[in-house]
Amino acid sequence: MLLYDSFFKPRKLPTWWTRFTESNPAVPTIVAVTGLVLICFSLASIISTSEHNGHGQVIETFGSVSKSKPFVERAMNLRAAYHKLFPAEVRNFLFNLYGNIALYLIVPFLMLLEFMFPCNPSQPLIGKGFLQDAIWYVVDTPLCIVILYPVIGFLRGLFIQHMGFLTIDSAASWPAIIQILAALLLPALSRAKEQAKRTQLERIAAQYNLKKFTLTKEILIEQGVMNHSKPVLTLNPGFPFNDDRALSVYIHEQGHWLLGEHQNEMRGLYQDLTRTFPGMPANYPEGSGSIQDSYFHLAVIGLEWNGLEEVVGEQRARTVLEFLSTQWYTVLYKTVLENRQRVNDILQRHGLRW
Ligand SMILES: [Zn+2]
Would you say residue 158 lies in a domain?
Answer: no
Would you say residue 76 lies in a domain?
Answer: yes
Compute, in angstroms, the gap from residue 323 CA to the centroid of ligand 1: 16
Q: Exposure of 101 by Cβ count < 10 A (0-12 exposed, 13-18 middle, 19+ buried)? A: middle
Q: Is the pTM of this model over 0.85?
A: no
Distance CA 96, CA 147 (A): 17
Counting every residue, how long is the chain? 354
Compute, in angstroms, the gap from residue 142 CA to the centroid of ligand 1: 42
Phi and psi at residue 262, to the nearest 5°: -120, 45
Would you say residue 9 lies in a domain?
Answer: yes
Which one-letter DSSP state was computed for residue 235?
Answer: E
- Give the pLDDT confidence score for residue 52 in this predicted structure: 57
Look at the chain and report how many structural domains it folds into: 2
Compute, in angstroms, the gap from residue 218 CA to the centroid of ligand 1: 17
Question: Residue 286 is part of which domain span?
Answer: 184-349
Compute, in angstroms, the gap from residue 77 CA to the centroid of ligand 1: 54
Percent of the chain with pLDDT over 90: 38
Of 111, 126, 141, the residue at which a domain comes to its end is 126
Compute, in angstroms, the gap from residue 259 CA to the centroid of ligand 1: 11
| Model pLDDT for residues 223-261, shown as the tens digit of each residue | 888 899 988 899 988 898 899 999 999 999 999 999 999
